[in-house]
């Protein structure tokens, strides 16, 4: 744990992000189940700052609403017009009232890969070196568009940050860039922001100018080079959005694999940041695990499966399945080709087999729904078997009704359970039954038309047809044999 808890973290999120070409503000675009600003706020929270302020401007009500819903306790400062990153930080300090005593960390809202560890390392270096400002820099293969870190040729000390648009050809060749993340002394930051001018190519107040202002006033300034430049990737367009998604996914899967999860093909598996695993879980190719999904030990998920907010119990098998807000018990079997909708709970060793859809259904331990069925609004006991091609008829056109089936029942194939209806423990139903009335425990329910065979009908009504000839040949053949 770091002893250098910052007084405040300021997240800059007022820009529109025009290069996204989107009706959604840039910082609300999502990767791995979290908005861009959400990733930054989550990393910032790891620093346990006294104050966490997000500067909002463009689409502020939408951004503020998002923060209130998902990141309660985050303060917002309004920047009416986007007059630059320095101006944005000034608005944040105004929101806080007095300039904060201690360290102020500034982060851009569009750098979702930045980790809490990196922010903490920056705050630690800043404190250890006794700097007035420490910038997080990175060596990148292509520095186009970024602010360049200019160092003194003789001493190697950082002298200034020059924006791409304001840089000379010589400065543009520099590959060490400003990540947009800084640690400042709060009081000195407030003073220096008052001196930032707008005589640059964009006519904006650049936060980056604070560094040279403080240095010229005789304060210590420093740069801390990020270990992995990919972490500071700023998202400006959808190509970078996809790139960040890929990098984050790789990071999440590596973490899972190092913790004991088998991921057969990491290139085709996608996980959200909120997904959790137990060691010896196995994830097969083409699988997406979203939201609060949890996969327990020895469970095998995939291939080609999408689980959202779903819990998979130990040793369960989930194959070619889509599930949302479902619970799969230990040792249960789902799919191939099953669809589990919200409110589905499969008990231990239960089965939802091929082409089975379930919704709002509680299936007891060892109960099987193996083939081609719809189970909606139902409670089924333990060790019951539901015959193939059965439908729980739960909707009368206006309201949904519930079906209850007991334990150790055997229902026939092609049954319709017209809800509300209850079938007692140990009962059987005949194939093809439409069950509209309750079935007592231990009874056999038969609810279908009686079969009637009309002898010789084909020969009389379809004389000379292929069917008639086949029937004729068949009866002669059987006559010869007998």
Q: Catalytic residue numbers?
A: 371
Per rule CB under 6 A, is residue 76 in the interface with ligand UD1? no
Per rule CB under 6 A, is residue 287 in the interface with ligand UD1? no
| Nearest residue relative to ligand UD1 (C-beta) | 147
Per rule CB under 6 A, is residue 118 in the interface with ligand UD1? no
Residue 178's binding partner among ligand UD1, Ca ion, none (Cβ under 5 to 8 angstroms by kind) is ligand UD1
CB of 277 to ligand UD1, least distance (A): 32
CB of 111 to Ca ion, least distance (A): 8
Per rule CB under 6 A, is residue 55 in the interface with ligand UD1? yes
Per rule CB under 6 A, is residue 87 in the interface with ligand UD1? yes
CB of 383 to ligand UD1, least distance (A): 58
Q: Cα angle vertex 256, ends 253, 258, to 5°?
A: 110
Complex with ligand UD1: residue 149 or 363, whichever CB lies closer? 149
Q: Which of 42, 131, 137, 208 is close enough to bind ligand UD1 by CB under 6 A?
A: 208
Per rule CB under 6 A, is residue 38 in the interface with ligand UD1? no
Mask: binding to ligand UD1, 8-37, rule CB under 6 A, as x and -? Answer: ----xxxx----------------------
- Spatial distance between the Cα atoms of 160 and 192, rounded to a whole number of angstroms: 14
Residue 206's binding partner among Ca ion, ligand UD1, none (Cβ under 5 to 8 angstroms by kind) is ligand UD1
Q: Which stretch binds ligand UD1 (CB under 6 A): 2-10, 203-211, 419-427, 474-482?
A: 203-211
Q: Which of 180, 366, 387, 412 is close enough to bind ligand UD1 by CB under 6 A?
A: 180
List contacts with ligand UD1 (CB under 6 A): 12-15, 55, 79, 82-85, 87-88, 108-110, 146-147, 161, 163, 177-180, 206-208, 234
């Amino acid at each position: 744990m770091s002893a250098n808890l910052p007084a405040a973290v300021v997240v800059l999120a007022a820009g529109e992000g025009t290069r996204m070409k989107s009706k959604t503000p840039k910082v609300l675009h999502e990767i791995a189940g979290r908005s861009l600003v959400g990733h930054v706020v989550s990393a910032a929270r790891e620093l346990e700052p006294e104050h966490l302020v997000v500067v909002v401007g463009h689409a502020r009500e939408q951004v503020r609403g998002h923060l209130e819903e998902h990141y309660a306790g985050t303060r917002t400062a309004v920047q009416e017009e986007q007059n630059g990153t320095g101006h944005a930080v000034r608005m944040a300090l105004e929101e806080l009232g007095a300039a904060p005593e201690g360290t102020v960390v500034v982060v851009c809202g569009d750098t979702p890969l930045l980790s809490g560890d990196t922010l903490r390392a920056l705050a630690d270096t800043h404190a250890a070196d006794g700097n007035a400002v420490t910038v997080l820099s990175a060596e990148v293969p292509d520095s186009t568009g970024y602010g360049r870190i200019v160092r003194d040729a003789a001493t190697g000390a950082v002298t200034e940050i020059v924006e791409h648009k304001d840089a000379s050809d010589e400065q543009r060749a520099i590959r060490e860039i400003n990540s947009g993340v800084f640690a400042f002394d709060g009081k000195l930051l407030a003073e220096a922001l008052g001196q930032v001018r707008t005589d640059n190519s964009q006519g904006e107040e650049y936060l980056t100018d604070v560094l040279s202002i403080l240095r010229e006033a005789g304060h210590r300034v420093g740069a801390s080079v990020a270990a992995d430049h990919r972490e500071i990737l700023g998202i400006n367009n959808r190509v970078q959005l996809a790139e960040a998604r890929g990098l984050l996914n790789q990071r999440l899967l590596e973490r899972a694999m190092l913790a004991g999860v088998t991921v057969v093909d990491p290139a085709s598996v996608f996980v959200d940041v909120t997904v959790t695993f137990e060691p010896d879980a196995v994830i097969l190719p083409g699988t997406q695990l979203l939201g609060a999904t949890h996969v327990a030990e020895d469970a095998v998920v995939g291939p080609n499966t999408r689980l959202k907010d779903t819990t998979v119990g130990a040793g369960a098998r989930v194959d070619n399945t889509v599930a949302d807000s479902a619970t799969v018990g230990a040792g249960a079997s789902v799919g191939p080709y099953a669809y589990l909708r919200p409110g589905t709970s499969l008990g231990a060793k239960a089965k939802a087999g091929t082409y089975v859809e379930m919704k709002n259904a509680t299936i007891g331990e060892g109960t099987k729904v193996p083939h081609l069925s719809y189970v909606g609004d139902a409670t089924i006991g333990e060790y019951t078997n539901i015959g193939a091609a059965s439908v729980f008829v739960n909707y009368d056109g206006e309201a949904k009704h519930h079906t209850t089936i007991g334990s150790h029942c055997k229902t026939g194939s092609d049954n319709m359970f017209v809800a509300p209806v209850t079938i007692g423990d140990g009962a059987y139903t005949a194939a093809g039954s439409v069950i509209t009335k309750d079935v007592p425990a231990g009874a056999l329910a038969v609810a279908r038309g009686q079969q009637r065979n009309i002898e010789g009908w084909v020969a009389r009504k379809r004389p000379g047809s292929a069917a008639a000839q086949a029937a004729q040949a068949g009866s002669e053949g059987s006559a010869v044999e007998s």
